[in-house]
Amino acid sequence: MQIMSDSDKDAFDSSPLYTRQVQENQQRLAFDLQTGYDYVICGAGTAGSVLAARLAANPEVKVLLLEAGGTDDSELVMDPNRWVLTLGGNLDWGFQAEANPHLNGRAIPYSMGKVLGGGSSINVSTWSRGHQDDWNFYAAEAGDSAWGYDAVLDLYRHRIEDWAGTPSDYRGTGGSVYVQPAADPHPFSIALLEGAESIGLPRFEDQNGRLMEAEQGCAFVDETVRNGRRQSIFRSYVYPLMSQPNLTVLTQAMVTRIRFQGSRATGVEFRWQGKLLCVNASIEVVLALGAIQTPKLLMQSGIGDPDQLRSFGIEIQQALPGVGRNLHDHVAFGCIWEASTEPLPTAPRSQTVCFWKTNATLTSPNFYTYAAGIPFTTPENAAWIAPPEKVWSLIVGMSPVSRGAIRLTGSNADDPVRIDANYLADPRDLTELKTGIEQARALGNSAPLRRYTTREVHPGTLSSSNREQFLRNGLVTFWHQSCTAKMGRDELSVVDHRLKVYGIDGLRVADASVLPRVTRGNTMAPCVVIGERAAAILQEEHGHMTASTV
């Protein structure tokens, strides 16, 4: 047998012949839909794609992957610079959080990907592994060292990453996810890192090695982009297997309910091509619908807080009050400078990342920032102080103390959920933000960046009360919605350390919902880890078991 090199494999996966084989195979499988599969994976987003592909790698195992969104075969997805154009369009669920009194009554947009690949098909392509403190915290919460930093570092290095940058003990090659350092750093990006160093943030060789063990620092970003094209997690994991007869991928397939026999999940109901269909899972059902839809489906299927379920006439399958609680996310805020005549990077994707902390007792950063040549602001703040035509922004993210919640408005799949993002509910968040923003301003105003700047626009030297208004009017999401079906051992935990839903057999959750708290940095890479852990757990527990052997 001849082994294909990576570039051969890429060329093969995108060849017209392979594309036709995939189309024909998937049409055949969809036409010949079965009443049961070994595994039914709900959601072909970041974590769901990893899990489905790892399970289907065994040709004996029959996998059905159900995705409510449509194809990713679009320049909007494939060109990573068009991510901004996906927001609010048909690749986005278009969620909106409830009006928040702490944000002066604003109801902020709360985008999530609705397409093969989920968030990984519309995001900014930054690859951020999560800090060692995050993973060690998860291991402690779960009571399982398999979630700890050492184990996860091993996974990244030996299974997940195909690192195209300078080799190091921290990075691995040959994995499924192509990761490159920022291509052709622009002089602005180089100046920005000099600026970061000038305000005391040490420089690291890349975003995901030693920096993820440090208290603060800066580096060029890592990204899942190759030759200018997005490498979504769906394309990296699932697409290469889609000509196999054991992997059925249905798009526009909206999962509406989990089916049970006693305390066992036996399958799901889903809407597809105008029909409501039922499908059985002989081994397990896995929910990978993301941190908003996973708790929604659990609750509408009878798993959640009994009082809330009763109020909508939903029969209780399993009382788990933590479902939908604990919503965690990074808040984002834009600091804006008027640009000089010096050229700026044209791509709306940062080439740099800086992490810092606002509290000496912390062992990991609670702030980070990316940079882009766009005005990152809200309509309210733009109306207050209009940004000039030519600007650049620091897009600052903070891990807040406040937690939100996802609640039902009804028992039907078409009933929207109430998203209470709850930003700034805890007063400590505003205090930290005021401090953290000062570090961003120091960076933006630092000497190495002066030649790119005419003046600081947002927030500038506002009075303390105006600064507060500016934050209340300016906070938005960094799109890292997580933690609504958290893994752990307390009364609000929804899944155990093996991602099994408490009290129910044959049902797991594998997506950002299970994180006990949001990571330091972005959440795509951690969701790949979740998908890999879920696959390893299922393979350990069920081995090569298939429908014919159960």
Ligand X SMILES: Cc1cc2nc3c(=O)[nH]c(=O)nc-3n(C[C@H](O)[C@H](O)[C@H](O)COP(=O)(O)OP(=O)(O)OC[C@H]3O[C@@H](n4cnc5c(N)ncnc54)[C@H](O)[C@@H]3O)c2cc1C
Give whole-number Cα distances, 374 to 81, 350, 394, 395, in Å: 12, 10, 9, 10
By CB under 6 A, name the one of 47, 281, 303, 534 that touches ligand X.
47
118 binds ligand X (CB under 6 A): yes
Please identify, using beta-carbon distances, which residue of 309 and 395 lies nearer to ligand X. Answer: 395
Catalytic residue among 102, 480, 497, 544: 480
d(CA 346, CA 142): 43
Q: Which is nearer to ligand X, 68 or 201 (CB)?
A: 68
| Among the listed residues 29, 422, 479, 532, the single contact to ligand X using CB under 6 A | 479
Strand (E) positions, 380-421? 391-398, 405-407, 418-420
User: What are the tokens at 503?
Assistant: 């009290």
Q: Is 67 in the site for ligand X (CB under 6 A)?
A: yes
Rounded Cα gap, residues 311 and 333, in angstroms: 37
Minimum CB distance to ligand X smaller for 254 or for 382: 254
- Give catalytic status of residue 480 as yes or no: yes
Q: In this complex, which beta carbon is closest to ligand X, that of residue 48 or of residue 516? A: 48
Compute the least distance from the CB of residue 309 to ligand X, in Å: 18
Task: Please report how close the Cβ of residue 251 comes to ligand X at its closest, in angstroms.
Answer: 9
Number of residues that bind ligand X (CB under 6 A): 40
Candidate list 53, 192, 527, 534; residue touching ligand X; CB under 6 A: 527
Backbone angles phi, psi at 466, to 5 degrees: -70, -35
Is residue 449 a contact point for ligand X (CB under 6 A)? no
Q: Distance (Å, rounded) from C-alpha 477 to C-alpha 69?
A: 22
Gap between the Cα atoms of 341 and 397, Å rounded: 28
Q: Nearest approach, Cβ of 48 to ligand X (angstroms)?
A: 6
List 54, 56, 126, 322, residue binding ligand X (CB under 6 A): 126
**Contact status: 293 vs ligand X (CB under 6 A):** yes
Nearer to ligand X, 302 or 459 (CB): 302
Spacing of C-alpha 141 from chain mean position: 21
Among 66, 247, 440, 504, binds ligand X (CB under 6 A): 66
Min CB(219)–ligand X separation in Å:
15
46 binds ligand X (CB under 6 A): yes
Q: Does 68 bind ligand X (CB under 6 A)?
A: yes
Closer to ligand X by CB, 270 or 470: give it: 270
In the region spanning residues 481 to 520, those forming contacts with ligand X, defined by CB under 6 A, are 511-512
Containing 287, the helix (H) or strand (E) segment is strand 275-287
Nearer CB in complex with ligand X: 192/297: 297
- The residues with which 387 forms a beta bridge, in sequence order, are none
The answer to the question of residue 437 lying near ligand X (CB under 6 A) is no
Decide if residue 212 touches ligand X (CB under 6 A). no
> Beta-strand (E) ranges in 127-171?
161-163
Residues ≥6 apart with Cβ < 8 Å to 152: 129, 130, 135, 529
Cα separation, 369 vs 371, in Å, equals 7
- Which residue, 226 or 467, is less far from ligand X as judged by CB? 226
Q: In a 10 Å sphere around its CB, with 0-12 CB exposed, 13-18 middle and 19+ buried, how is residue 319 labelled?
A: middle
Closer residue to ligand X, CB minimum distance, 242 or 457: 242
Surface-to-core class of residue 2, CB atoms within 10 Å of its CB (0-12 exposed, 13-18 middle, 19+ buried): exposed
Interacting stretch for ligand X, rule CB under 6 A, among 38-46, 156-164, 194-202, 395-403?
A: 38-46
Q: Which residue is nearest to ligand X (CB)?
A: 45
Alpha carbon 181 to chain centroid, angstroms: 20
Please, which residue, 94 or 460, has the CB nearer to ligand X?
94
Q: Is 470 helix (H, G, I), strand (E, B) or coil?
A: helix
Based on its alpha-carbon atoms, the radius of gyration of the chain, rounded to whole angstroms, reads 23
Which listed residue (102, 157, 480, 486) binds ligand X by CB under 6 A? 480
Q: Which of residues 400-419 bind ligand X (CB under 6 A)?
A: none
Residue 290 in the binding site for ligand X (CB under 6 A): yes
The pair phi, psi for residue 379, each rounded to 5°, is: -55, -35
Stretch 73-112: interaction string toward ligand X, x if CB under 6 A: --------------------------------------xx
Q: Which stretch binds ligand X (CB under 6 A): 119-127, 166-174, 298-306, 500-508?
A: 119-127
Nearest approach, Cβ of 135 to ligand X (angstroms)? 15
Q: Which of 322, 317, 234, 325 is nearest to 506 (CA)?
A: 317
Q: Kindly tell me the number of DSSP H helices and DSSP E strands found in the chain.
A: 15, 23
Stretch (H or E) spanning 281:
strand 275-287
H-type helices in 270-344, by residue range? Answer: 290-300, 306-311
| Closest separation in Å from C-beta 254 to ligand X | 5
Q: Which stretch binds ligand X (CB under 6 A): 125-133, 170-178, 211-219, 273-281?
A: 125-133
Asked if the bond preceding 306 is cis, omega within 30° of 0, the reply is: no
54, 102, 103, 119: residue in contact with ligand X (rule CB under 6 A): 119
CB of 32 to ligand X, least distance (A): 21
Q: Does 124 bind ligand X (CB under 6 A)?
A: yes
Q: HSE (CB half, 13 Å, CA atoms) of 241? A: 27
480 or 500, CB closer to ligand X?
A: 480
CB of 286 to ligand X, least distance (A): 11
Burial code (b: 16+ CB inside 10 Å, e: under 16) for 75-91 equals: ebbbebeebeebeeeeb
Which member of 249, 255, 283, 327 binds ligand X (CB under 6 A)? 255
In the complex, the residues that contact ligand X under the rule CB under 6 A are 42-48, 66-69, 111-114, 118-120, 122-126, 128, 254-255, 288-290, 293, 297, 479-480, 511-512, 522-525, 527
Catalytic positions are 480
